Amino acid sequence: MKNFRFTSFWLLLMFGVATIVFNSCSKSDNSGENPIDLDPVHQDNGVVINGIKWATRNVASPGTFAAKPEDVGMFYQWNSKIAWSSTGNVAGWDSIIPVGSIWGKDTDPSPTGWRPPTSVEIQALVDSTKVSNEWLAVNGINGRKFTDKVSGNTLFLPAAGLRYYTDGTLYGVAVGYYWSRTAINSDGAYGLYFTHDIAVLAGLYRPCGFSLRCVSE
């Protein structure tokens, strides 16, 4: 258990925090955004990337989407429905390792019709043979844009950083961490990790608070 924590999570965390010193890209690109329903809190038309339909916005409070694709939304620990703010300090942080072999329906904060992606679905998103991705800024918010090489459909994920597992301190605001629903072992679960330079499927530590982007059920 400890080997996973120190070889996977700690390596990524140190690399992630280091990327704060990178200069932000000034390019702003809103092309390829998909139309959003008039009720942005509960509905999302989604976009298909490499055969998988992704929501165009992060999860905000449980059962709701953020208003815009570049909005960070809220942070979640793995297999938990408790939402944490993506800015400032938080109180009452729970550092206990969440249990479970998969992110369950009862603890899923996704809006109706959506769920956390599997590790296979995240791997399809970062499959460079079918999807390109680049670091850029949308309305001043840094993140990565993923583009389906066949359809030209695009998906923007803001880089919001994470809340540290011990006390919920906010770190690495120039890095993106997104949960999957797929467990690795009792300590870790898979997720999407990206920086200014890379986007990969990674092993992450369950008690940390990360962003959540859903796929269609």
Query: Per-residue pLDDT tens for 45-99?
Result: 999 999 999 999 999 999 999 999 999 999 999 999 999 999 999 999 999 999 9
pLDDT at 210: 98
List pLDDT tens digits, range 23-34.
Answer: 222 223 333 344
For the chain, the straight-line distance linking the first and the last C-alpha, in angstroms and rounded, comes to: 31
More confident residue, 39 or 189: 189
| Separation between Cα atoms, residue 42 and residue 45, nearest integer Å | 11
pLDDT at 48: 98
pLDDT tens column, 138-169:
999 999 999 999 999 999 999 999 999 999 99
Q: What pTM did the predictor assign?
A: 0.83
In the Cβ-directed half-sphere of 46, how many Cα atoms lie within 13 Å?
A: 17
